[in-house]
A and B are shown apart, each in its own frame.
Chain A
């Protein structure tokens, strides 16, 4: 069974530009989560999508947005990039919603803003 995949692996952008990150969940998983992991820090919850709808978002500005497609893949968009947006962005999927479901993480996209 294929795991969660993310693309691109690395992304280098200039301050003020826009970045688009993509995630494909494990087949059959309908929930997709996005996290930001700044260097040496923990995982910060960004967004949660389930069944094509945004279900919740973390404490991030509106320039962080995304969507989930009918095939449950997801896209994270970051507008007006700032230097502090440089981080590893992890996507995770789960087979259900609720606290009893584990999350499976993709390898991440390393975003560097210069």
Chain B
């Protein structure tokens, strides 16, 4: 089951904040976040694990609510370089381990 991301798209002015949400209908052990700039490969941002462990980008913050099966990515004081599509990834263990990504949230930061 693909995780659901919201919003689908957001436009910000430089310096503004944004929150991107990711929710799953299944119990989660972890959530991964990636950013993909136009024409480039996705880049790892952060992993949030059940139990509170996190690793990733120092300037990015995120939360993981295990009970609600949700994660949120917080982008504060946005910069032009934050523009891109943000994907959250979860894992499906049905029939074997595989990564499932949300449809993505397109973020555009303008000057």
A66 to chain B: which residues have CB within 8 Å?
none
29 contacts between A and B (CB under 8 A): A33-B99, A35-B101, A41-B103, A42-B2, A42-B104, A43-B101, A44-B101, A45-B98, A45-B100, A48-B98, A55-B96, A56-B98, A58-B98, A90-B41, A90-B42, A92-B42, A99-B32, A99-B47, A99-B49, A100-B47, A102-B47, A102-B56, A103-B44, A104-B44, A105-B42, A105-B43, A106-B41, A107-B41, A108-B41
B82 to chain A: which residues have CB within 8 Å?
none
Q: Interface digits, B22-53 against A, CB 8 Å rule (1 contact, 0 not)?
A: 00000001101010000011111001010001
Q: How far is the CA of A49 from the CA of B36 in the complex (A)?
A: 23
Closest 6 CB pairs of A and B: A56-B96, A99-B30, A105-B41, A102-B44, A43-B101, A42-B103
Q: How far is the CA of A100 from the CA of B44 in the complex (A)?
A: 12
**With contact pairs A42-B87, A42-B102, A42-B103 given, residues A102 and B32 touching in the complex (Cβ less than 8 Å):** yes
Residues of A near any B CB (own CB < 8 A): 4, 33, 35, 41-45, 48, 55-56, 58, 90, 92, 97-100, 102-108
State the main secondary structure of chain A at its contact with B: loop
Q: How far is the CA of A104 from the CA of B42 in the complex (A)?
A: 8
CB distance from B74 to the nearest CB of A (A): 19
A44 to chain B: which residues have CB within 8 Å?
101
State the main secondary structure of chain B at its contact with A: strand
Other-chain residue from A4, A55, A103 in contact with B97 (beta carbon distance below 8 A):
A55
Residues of B near any A CB (own CB < 8 A): 2, 29-30, 32, 34, 40-44, 47, 49, 53, 55-56, 87, 89, 91, 95-104
B85 nearest CB neighbor, chain A only:
A42
Given contacts A56-B98, A92-B42, A99-B91, could you give 12 more A-B pairs where the C-beta distance is less than 8 Å? A42-B104, A43-B99, A45-B101, A55-B97, A56-B97, A99-B47, A99-B49, A100-B30, A103-B34, A104-B44, A106-B41, A108-B41
A100 nearest CB neighbor, chain B only:
B49
CB distance from B44 to the nearest CB of A (A): 4
CB distance from B6 to the nearest CB of A (A): 14
